[in-house]
Amino acid sequence: MFAALNALGTTFIKAKKSRNHSELLFKHLKIPIKVKKTKKFDFIDIKKPKKINAFNYQIPGDISSGAFFMVLTTLAKDSRLLIKNVNINPSRIGVVTILKKMGAKIIFKNQRNYRGEKISDILIKSSKKLKAINCPTYLNSSAIDEFLVIFLIAAKAKGVSYFRNLSELNQKESPRLIWGSKILNMMGIKTDLTKDSIKIYGQPNLEITKPIIVNNYLKDHRVFMMSAIAALTCGGHWTIFDKDSINTSFPSFLKIVKDISHSST
């Protein structure tokens, strides 16, 4: 799409369904673009613009980063958290849909439109009753980066949760589906794992008392953050190596964890 901005004439793109941040930005900048959506594909036509004017843009908060704090608050006792200015593009909020189906208390507040994107503050409150889910596969693509922390909710939910068609997780920075199962097993949670699915046998009263060591996970930032949230909410004495892995996506993660843990709200 960006190459088309400097190509002569009109560029025609047939694309699999995906996130549409670029399309929204192009429309906001009045770049000549047409998008026709079908069930499986988006057909995108882009004409070379005569010029693109300079603009200011304040990047909204990332829901993938916010998801770790949604789960932290959901599993913590007597807690509430407000995360401000988060991008809630429909292609990105699968994690919220899944968590709410499992009993999490999450509310969008002060919704508005910013440069074509949907933005909202997100209020999360602790939840004492979490339930298992047979996760609809149509939600996979919009929550693919958040499944590790979703697994933590399943670990504390009543019943057996089932997640399918997740082979893509093993194509990330580490084989995340395998690592998610490993960490749950370390915590004492039973799982049934295949190459593309996982069943998680929840324990609502889970309290870990043993030491847990998380190492050799290929420095995958999301494995580190999943482990940290588990340590904060499920008990036990955790040793998590390679904390510099969070620099990939969220270098201030540990500072924010520390800050909100001292907050009265």
Q: State pLDDT tens for residues 18-49.
A: 889 999 999 999 999 999 999 889 999 999 99
pLDDT at 127 exceeding the cut of 70: yes
Per-residue pLDDT, 72: 97
Per-residue pLDDT, 264: 44
Is 42 part of the annotated catalytic residue set? no
Which is catalytic among the residues 45, 78, 121, 145?
145
Q: Please state, rounded to an integer, the average pLDDT across all residues of the chain.
A: 94
Q: What does 123-144 look like in DSSP terms, one character per residue?
A: EEE--S--B--B--GGGSTTST
CA atoms lying within 13 Å on the CB side of residue 51: 3
263: pLDDT confidence band, cut at 50, 70 and 90? low
Instruction: Work out the percent of the chain whose per-residue pLDDT is above 90.
Output: 92
**Residue 111 is encoded by which pair of tokens?**
């919704």
Per-residue pLDDT, 265: 43
Per-residue pLDDT, 262: 66
pLDDT at 15 exceeding the cut of 70: yes
- In this structure, are residues 158 and 133 in contact, taking their beta carbons and an 8 Å threshold? no
73, containing H or E segment: helix 63-75
Read off the pLDDT of each residue in 246-260 and give the average, rounded to a whole number.
93
**pTM (predicted TM-score):** 0.91
Q: Residue written as tokens 């407000």? A: 82
List 15's β-bridge partners, or say none: 42
List 237's β-bridge partners, or say none: 211
Residue 89 CA to its chain's centroid (Å): 12
**Residue 2 is encoded by which pair of tokens?**
């960006």
- In tens, the pLDDT along 82-107 reads 999 999 999 999 999 999 999 999 99
**Residue 88 is encoded by which pair of tokens?**
């809630």
In one-letter notation, the amino acid at residue 56 is N
**Total residues found in the chain within this entry:** 265
Cα radius of gyration (the chain): 20
Helix axes 176-186, 147-155, angle to 10 degrees: 30
Instruction: Work out the percent of the chain whose per-residue pLDDT is above 70.
Output: 98
Per-residue pLDDT, 253: 96
- In tens, the pLDDT along 135-184 reads 999 999 899 999 999 999 999 999 999 999 999 999 889 999 999 999 99
**Cα–Cα distance, 8 to 161 (Å, whole number):** 52
**Cα–Cα distance, 98 to 177 (Å, whole number):** 17
- In this structure, are residues 90 and 1 in contact, taking their beta carbons and an 8 Å threshold? no
In one-letter notation, the amino acid at residue 195 is K
